[in-house]
């Protein structure tokens, strides 16, 4: 069974600073995708960034980037120039085969003005 | 284009009752998945449907069932509600199953409270 672990229940950062959210996972699959989702208080789950496991190059999306360490099964999210609108729950997830996303427990990110 | 829609937004039921939650996927998407998100936790996979057939099922009791209609909308049914069924139920749609990485788009969820 696949598992995803987010060891930081809560994180806070000053506006305009950089923060890194941690994620480790376990899978026996050789081919998989990893995701970071954002869930603001509105509850809508929004895809932030995704990484194909077969690609060594780390994915980036504007202020968001990942550090993907396949051998260590680590997939951290870096948010640069944090903005107030980045405040939300962040979930790391891995997709298993053709079926389901497996999510971590989430990290609540607070942005301090 | 409209995103994934779910109804109702909120629902309050009592133990032992039955509930039906509804989801309409993004136009052109043929695969719908259901997730349960208990407060303070990450979503847990319940079902996936594609072309009206069940393609995957999570570790949930038989009280949970679902179906997909010819227009690709979907219903999630829960019988004999328990207090522990209180959660946010999320629906996600995607073009098709498969590891192609095609994104799952989530709806706003239905908040179910069981008293």
Q: Is the pLDDT of residue B1 over 80?
A: no
What is the CATH code for A3-112?
2.60.40.10
Question: d(Cα A88, Cα B5) in Å, to the nearest integer?
Answer: 21
Q: Do B33 and A100 touch (CB under 8 A)?
A: yes
pLDDT band with cut points at 50, 70 and 90 for residue B104: confident
Q: What is the pLDDT along chain A (113 residues), one digit of tens a residue?
A: 789 999 999 999 999 999 999 999 998 887 888 999 999 987 889 999 999 888 889 999 999 999 999 999 999 999 999 999 999 999 999 987 667 889 999 999 999 99
Domain-wise residue ranges, chain A: 3-112
Nearest to B99 among A4, A44, A95 (CB): A95
Q: How many degrees, rounded to 5, is the angle at CA B23 between CA A48 and CA B27?
A: 70
Domains parsed from chain B with CATH numbers: 5-114 (2.60.40.10)
CB-based contact B33:B48 (threshold 8 Å): yes
Q: Is the pLDDT of residue B100 over 70?
A: no
- Three-state secondary-structure class, residue B33: strand
Chain A contact probe: residue of B10, B31, B39, B43 with most A CBs at under 10 A: B43
Q: Do A102 and B45 touch (CB under 8 A)?
A: yes
Q: Do A98 and B55 touch (CB under 8 A)?
A: yes
A100 touching B (Cβ < 8 Å): yes
| A102: its two tokens | 């497996």
């Amino acid at each position: 069974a696949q598992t995803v672990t987010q060891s930081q229940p809560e994180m806070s950062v000053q506006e305009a600073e950089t923060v890194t959210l941690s994620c480790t996972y376990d899978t026996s699959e050789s081919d998989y995708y990893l995701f970071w989702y954002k869930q603001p208080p509105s509850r809508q789950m929004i895809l932030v960034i995704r990484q194909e496991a077969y690609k060594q190059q780390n994915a980036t999306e504007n202020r968001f980037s990942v550090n993907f360490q396949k051998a260590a099964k680590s997939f951290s999210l870096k948010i640069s120039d944090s903005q107030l609108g980045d405040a939300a729950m962040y979930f790391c997830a891995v997709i298993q085969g053709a079926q389901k996303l497996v999510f971590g427990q989430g990290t609540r990110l607070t942005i301090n003005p | 284009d409209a995103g994934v829609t779910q109804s109702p937004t909120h629902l309050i039921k009592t133990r032992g009752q039955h509930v039906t939650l509804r989801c309409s996927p993004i136009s052109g998407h043929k695969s719908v998945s259901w997730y349960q998100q208990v407060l303070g936790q990450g979503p847990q996979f319940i079902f996936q449907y594609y072309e009206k057939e069940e393609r995957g099922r999570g570790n949930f009791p038989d009280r949970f069932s679902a179906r997909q209609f010819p227009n690709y909308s979907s219903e999630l049914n829960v019988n004999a509600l328990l207090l522990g069924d209180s959660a946010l139920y999320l629906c996600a749609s995607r073009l098709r199953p498969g590891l192609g990485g095609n994104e799952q788009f989530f709806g706003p969820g239905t908040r179910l409270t069981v008293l």
